[in-house]
């Protein structure tokens, strides 16, 4: 790792020393390391510096919505796979059964899955706030 020399003003130096002293009461010697602390502070500072140039700000609610949306998408993918496997199973085990029996079974499964998904969304968001894709 490259080594650089830098100079701190008194205020920043005092704050770094305060953080180091606070960390000295807890944790191992590696957690009290000056270089590690300064690198972490620099990493956070660069992150904030880069974020300043962007027009968008971080929204916790938007993040939560995106996580929930992606979870639902993953669940829907599982449902599609289940549907395909169920249809193949019915066709292999009951070649005489009609497509209506397969559709009824899949419809029941999808209805119960959608009802559970609606309960999850309702627990976290107002119904008026939900976004339809």
pLDDT tens, residue by residue, 105-114: 777 777 877 7
Residue 78, domain extent: 60-129
Span 63-79, mean pLDDT? 79
Same domain, 67 and 101: yes
Average pLDDT, the chain: 76
Same domain, 40 and 67: no
pLDDT tens, residue by residue, 54-67: 666 677 777 777 78
Q: Write the burial class of residue 19 (CB in 10 Å: 0-12 exposed, 13-18 middle, 19+ buried).
A: middle
pLDDT over 50 (residue 72):
yes
Same domain, 45 and 71: no
pLDDT tens, residue by residue, 77-86: 787 788 788 8
Same domain, 47 and 83: no
What is the model's pLDDT at position 128? Answer: 55
Span 112-125, mean pLDDT? 75
Q: How far apart are CA 123 and CA 49, in angstroms?
A: 36
Same domain, 46 and 100: no
Same domain, 64 and 102: yes
pLDDT over 50 (residue 75):
yes
Domain membership flag for residue 75: yes
Task: For residue 112, give both structure tokens.
Answer: 């119960």
Crossing angle, helix 34-52 and helix 10-24, to 10 degrees?
A: 120
Same domain, 40 and 86: no
What is the model's pLDDT at position 87? Answer: 78
Number of domains in the chain: 2
Span 95-102, mean pLDDT? 72
Q: What angle do CA 23, 25, 30 make, to 5 degrees?
A: 50
Q: How far apart are CA 10 and CA 23, in angstroms?
A: 20
CB 82 within 8 A of CB 29: no
């Amino acid at each position: 790792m490259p080594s650089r020399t830098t100079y701190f003003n008194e205020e920043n130096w005092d704050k770094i020393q305060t953080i180091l002293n606070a960390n000295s009461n807890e944790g191992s010697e590696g957690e009290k390391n000056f270089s590690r602390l300064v690198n972490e502070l620099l990493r956070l500072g660069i992150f904030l510096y880069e974020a300043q140039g962007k027009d968008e700000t971080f929204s916790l609610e938007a993040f939560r919505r995106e996580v929930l949306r992606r979870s639902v998408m993953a669940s829907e993918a599982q449902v599609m796979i289940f549907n395909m496997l169920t249809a193949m199973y019915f066709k292999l085990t009951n070649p005489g059964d009609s497509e209506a029996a397969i559709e009824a079974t899949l419809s029941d499964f999808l209805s119960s899955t959608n009802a559970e998904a609606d309960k999850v969304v309702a627990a976290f968001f107002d119904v008026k706030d939900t976004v339809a894709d």
